[in-house]
Amino acid sequence: MNLGQLAHLLNFEILTGDINLEKVIKGGYVSDLLSDVIANAEEDSVWITVQRHINILGVAKLKDIVGIIIPRNLHVENEIIEKAKTEGIAILRDSRSSFEIAGLVYNSLTRD
């Protein structure tokens, strides 16, 4: 399943336009600790986090993460969204909690 299909299926809001929508998603990781993500996230995955500062883009890039999913409709600064577009990282958002989003993404990917 690619990122666009996942976003459509689960009704995620896409903040970064067309970025990475065609990229195939292989997994996901949930963590708000950056070094934990660096150690354990897999490439071509989505990363669910409440962190919304610019450093998450560096981490995502380092780990070849396709998209970051922000839970609970938390606010994301425009500056971050613009930078994400230039760095080639998608940012998505949803009203549900990290727990619910993780469960939904997991189910969608394992059923795919």
Partner 1 sequence: MHERKDVVSSPCQPAANKPQLTLRFKIDEKDFLIAGESASKTKKALQQLGLKQEIVKNIAIIVYEAAMNIVIHSNHGEIKIIIAPNQVVVLSEDVGEGIPDIELAMKEGYSTAPNEVREMGFGAGMGLPNIKQCSNELDIKTTVGLGTTLRATIYLNPADTKQVETGTMYV
Ligand X SMILES: Nc1ncnc2c1ncn2[C@@H]1O[C@H](COP(=O)(O)OP(=O)(O)OP(=O)(O)O)[C@@H](O)[C@H]1O
Contacts with partner 1 by CB under 8 A lie at: 32-36, 38-39, 49, 51, 53-59, 61-62, 64
No. of H helices and E strands in the chain? Answer: 5, 5
11's contact among ligand X, partner 1, none, with CB below 5 to 8 A by partner kind, is: none
Distances (CA, A) of 59 to 5, 14, 23, 67: 24, 20, 18, 11
- C-alpha to C-alpha distance for 103 and 91, rounded to whole angstroms: 18
- List interacting residues with ligand X (CB under 6 A): 34-35
Nearer to partner 1, 10 or 34 (CB): 34
Nearer to partner 1, 18 or 42 (CB): 42
Under DSSP, the state recorded for 32 is S
Nearer to ligand X, 34 or 76 (CB): 34
